[in-house]
Amino acid sequence: MREQPNRPVPPPADDDAVEAALLARIANGDREALRTLYGRYYHPLLRFIYRITGQLELAQEGVNDVMMVVWSSGGSFGGRSRVRTWIMGIGYRKALKALEKSRRWSSRVRSIDAEGYEPFAPSVEPTAELDLADLLAHAMRQLPPKQRAVVELTYFHGYSYEEIAAIAGCPVNTVKTRMFHARARLKELLPELAKDEHWSG
Amino acid sequence: MSGRLEQPADGRTEHDRAAELLPWLVNGTLPAEERTRLERHVQSCLPCRAALRTEQRLAQLVRRQPTVPLSADEGFERLRERMAAPAPRTPARVAPWLLATAAALALAAWLAVDVARPPSPEFTTLTAAAAGGTRIDLVFAEDAAESDVRAVVRELGGTIVAGPNQVGRYTVALERPDEVDALLARLQRDPRVRLAARSFDTGQAP
């Protein structure tokens, strides 16, 4: 079978009916439907798992771990939640499990969290937004994985706190608390972020 | 980090609640009523206005973090290779005492391997009298204690009729089958529960 050409990948659309229909086809063994769903979720999942684990290999493997679950269990999805919440929830658990496993078994693997023990001390004042973006990437690595996940899900993937609670399998108050701590830590690490707050006292 | 942070203490001010919700004002996902209330507060609160600008800046920077430039097509080819390989028998690889590992594998094992099987020999029937009616399957969170399991089942008004199996799955017979959808929706949000779905063991259509 010929590869389909690369196409721009839309973010997971707010079109639950379309994705539920794809899942129904997948449950009947339709590989083209799987390919379509895979195309919709590949980059969001890859980025999400990569942001949690900090390891590209784990992220690539994690995406396919998720899609294997989708392939083998799409028929039992049954509309219990939105499709995108269900799929990202599987990704969340796979990512945390992969991170835990890599920490436990491979001290030589450079995980984000191993790097996290290094002191964070920007040596120069950020002079442009690009610099600030680089520093933020570094600062994000100082956060615990579950806090990183909430920041990513909120600001990159655009999920509501209720959806994030469903993805992470925790109460909404836990989501809000994780986000609150993450924001406080990021502002601490990157005072430049909160320059208006310094002025307003 | 614990999955169960303490909830904020009672007596928090409107400002405290607002400060907590700013990220979802920025990403535009707050329910209308909550958004209106928050916007009203932010208009009259100087620190919240400054904090909102911080959050907007943070959101922009997070969105500007580069995405890994890999091809979905190559990933899909690897997936097809995996799909063509013989499926691993996940539950058989799980040591029975590793409940945490079992729970983590539950999704794949339950949905990929166990689906539509009749109750397996490793199930322990606890209450044969409750065998009829609508049943649901539950896998509890890794940090759920036995008391949590009992509490959840009690709150459901159900009875455990089987489980836990090797992947930590319980089957619960419900006394109020007409409420199953509402109960499942509630369980989806319950931090003590990892997975909840209609059971495939009843012979009833889901």
Asked whether the ipTM of the predicted complex exceeds the cut of 0.90, the reply is: no
H or E element at residue B136:
strand B135-140
Is pLDDT larger for residue A46 or for residue B114?
A46
pLDDT value at B27 more than 50: yes
- Summary mean pLDDT of chain B: 72
CA distance to partner chain A, nearest, from residue B7 (Å): 6
Q: What ranges in chain B are assigned the alpha helix state H?
A: 14-26, 32-44, 46-64, 72-84, 99-108, 146-156, 180-188
Structure confidence at residue B99 as a pLDDT band (50, 70, 90): very low
Angle made by CA atoms B116, B122, B125, in degrees to the nearest 5: 85
Cβ under 8 Å to B: A residues 38-67: 38-39, 42-43, 46-47, 50, 56, 59-60, 63-64, 67
Q: How far apart are CA A94 and CA B196, in angstroms?
A: 18
Is pLDDT larger for residue B177 or for residue A95?
A95
Q: Which residue of B has its CA nearest to A137?
A: B65
Q: What ranges in A54-144 are assigned the alpha helix state H?
A: 56-73, 83-105, 112-115, 129-140
Q: How far apart are CA A195 and CA B53, in angstroms?
A: 9
Bridge partners (DSSP) of residue B198 are B136
**Which one, of A43, A65, A70, lies nearest residue B71 by Cα?**
A43
| pLDDT score at A78 | 67
| pLDDT score at A116 | 42
Q: How far apart are CA A120 and CA B186, in angstroms?
A: 42
Q: How far apart are CA B112 and CA B100, in angstroms?
A: 19
pLDDT value at B7 more than 50: no
Q: 3-class DSSP state for residue A7?
A: coil
CA atoms within 13 A on the CB side of B45: 19
| pLDDT score at B200 | 55
Q: What is the pTM of this model?
A: 0.62
H or E element at residue B197:
strand B193-198
Whether chain B has a CB inside 8 Å of the CB on A36: the answer is no
CA distance to partner chain B, nearest, from residue A55 (Å): 11
**Which one, of A55, A67, A53, lies nearest residue A152 by Cα?**
A53
Q: How far apart are CA B122 and CA B108, in angstroms?
A: 18
Per-residue exposure over B143-164, b if at least 16 CB sit within 10 Å of its own CB, e if not: ebeeebbeebbeebebbbbbbb
Tens-digit pLDDT string for chain A (201 aa): 333 333 334 444 558 889 999 999 998 999 999 999 999 999 999 999 999 998 888 999 999 999 999 998 876 776 778 899 999 999 999 999 999 888 776 554 444 444 443 333 444 455 555 578 888 888 998 999 999 999 999 999 999 999 999 999 999 999 999 999 999 999 999 988 888 776 544
Q: Quick one: chain A helix, strand, coil %, rounded to 5?
A: 70, 0, 30
Bond prior to B69 in cis (omega within 30° of 0): no
Whether chain A has a CB inside 8 Å of the CB on B188: the answer is yes
pLDDT per position as a tens digit, B55-72: 999 999 999 877 767 889
Residues of chain B with C-beta less than 8 angstroms from the C-beta of A80? 184-185, 188, 196-197
pLDDT per position as a tens digit, B151-172: 888 888 888 877 776 567 778 8
